[in-house]
Amino acid sequence: MTNPSASAWDRAAEGWSRSTPIVHAWLQPSTAAMLAEARLAPGARVLDLAAGAGDQTMDIARAVGPSGEVLATDLSPRILGFARERLLAAGLANVRFAVGDAEQPLATTAGFNAVMCRLGLMFCTNPAAAVAQAFDALRPGGRFVALVFGEVAKNPCITIMMKVARKHRGLPGSADPYAAGGLFSLAEPGRLAELLKASGFADVESTPVAAPFSLPDAAAYVAFVRDSGSPIMEVLAPLDESARQLAWQEIEESLRAFGGDEGWVGPNELLLASGTRPA
C-alpha cells in the first residue's frame, strides 16, 4: 500500500532540494555528530533512510569512500531523483537509490554496518516499525543513528508559526504537538530512546543538539519554510491566496523578534539518538 505522505513529499521535493544550501549550513554540525556516532570506516555499507534530496547522503558516501556503499531510500520517488542528480554531479558512484517506506522491510540484502536517518523518523506514522526495520537491516554490532526534532519549547519558531497559521485558519489554538507523524512526534523526553531499547538496541543514547538557524533576516527563514514542504504549508493550504499572504505576513512579523545586530538566529534543538545491534 502506498504511504499517502509520498505524494506530499513529491510535491515538496523541488523546494526541499532547492533549499539544500540552507539545510546544509543549518545541519552541518548535527550531520557531523551523526557521522561520528555511526562510527563509519572506509568500506562500510550504510543505509540512509528518508534520504530526501541527498545532502547527508553525500557526506556519508564520502565517509565510507569508494570501497564503501550507501543505499539511499525515501518514500518520495521525486525527491530521490534530486538526490540521484546531486550525487551524480558530485561524482560519487558508491550510492544506490531505492524508493521505499522506512516502516517496511527492505527489498534488498541487509547486513549494513550502519543505518542513518536525518530528520525523517519523526514523519513515520509508526516509528516503532521503522526502528525495528532498521534493527533487522543491521549486521550484529552495527549502529543506528537518527536525528529528529527535539523538545517543543526549544523550537519556538515552529510553535509561533503554527499558532499564527491556525489562527488564520480559524482552528483552535493548539493541536497535539506530539501527534504521530508530526514534526515533534518523537520529541517527548525519553520516547525515542525507549523505542530503540524496545527494538533490542543496546548502548542507547539520546542527546539534545543545538541547531540554530542563522539567516540574514526573518524573511529568509519564511522563504525557506515556504519552499521546503513544512507542515505549516498544509495548515494554510485551504486558504485563498490573499488570506494566505496575510498569514505569512503575520508569521514573518512575529519571527522578527529573533533578529538582532548579528542577523537573524532562530533557536532550534534536535535530538540525536543512537544504538548498537548487539553482537
Ligand X SMILES: C[S@@+](CC[C@H](N)C(=O)[O-])C[C@H]1O[C@@H](n2cnc3c(N)ncnc32)[C@H](O)[C@@H]1O
Q: Which is nearer to ligand X, 55 or 252 (CB)?
A: 55
Question: Which three cell numbers mark 31?
Answer: 550531520
Cα 143 vs. chain centroid, distance in angstroms?
18
Of all helices (H) and strands (E), which one includes residue 213?
strand 213-215
> Is 51 one of the binding residues for ligand X (CB under 6 A)?
yes
- Which positions from 5 to 44 touch ligand X by CB under 6 A, shown as an x/- string? x---x-------------x---------------------
From 81, 120, 150, 182, residue interacting with ligand X (rule: CB under 6 A)? 120
Q: Which is nearer to ligand X, 37 or 74 (CB)?
A: 74
From 79, 183, 186, 215, residue interacting with ligand X (rule: CB under 6 A)? 79
Q: Which is nearer to ligand X, 86 or 168 (CB)?
A: 86
Q: How far apart are CA 60 and CA 54, in angstroms?
A: 10
Count of C-beta atoms within a 10 Å radius of residue 75: 27
**Residue span binding ligand X (CB under 6 A) among the ranges 59-67, 69-77, 156-164, 241-249:** 69-77
What type of residue is 177?
P
- Which positions from 231 to 250 touch ligand X by CB under 6 A, shown as an x/- string? --------------------
> Is 118 one of the binding residues for ligand X (CB under 6 A)?
yes
Binding residues for ligand X, total number by CB under 6 A: 21
Nearest-10 Cα torsion for 25, 28, 29, 32: -170
Q: Which is nearer to ligand X, 101 or 168 (CB)?
A: 101
Q: What are phi and psi of 173, to 5 degrees?
A: -40, -50
Q: How far apart are CA 259 and CA 104, in angstroms?
A: 43
Q: Which is nearer to ligand X, 84 or 168 (CB)?
A: 84
Question: 65, exposed or middle or buried, with CB in 10 Å at 0-12, 13-18, 19+?
Answer: middle
Q: Which of residues 95-114 bind ligand X (CB under 6 A)?
A: 101-103
Q: Cβ neighbours of residue 148 under 8 Å, at least 6 residues apart?
A: 119, 121, 122, 186, 187, 192, 270, 271, 273
From 44, 46, 50, 115, residue interacting with ligand X (rule: CB under 6 A)? 50
> Is 225 one of the binding residues for ligand X (CB under 6 A)?
no
Of all helices (H) and strands (E), which one includes residue 62?
helix 55-64
Chain positions contacting ligand X, by CB under 6 A? 3, 5, 9, 23, 50-52, 55-56, 74-76, 79, 101-103, 118-120, 123-124
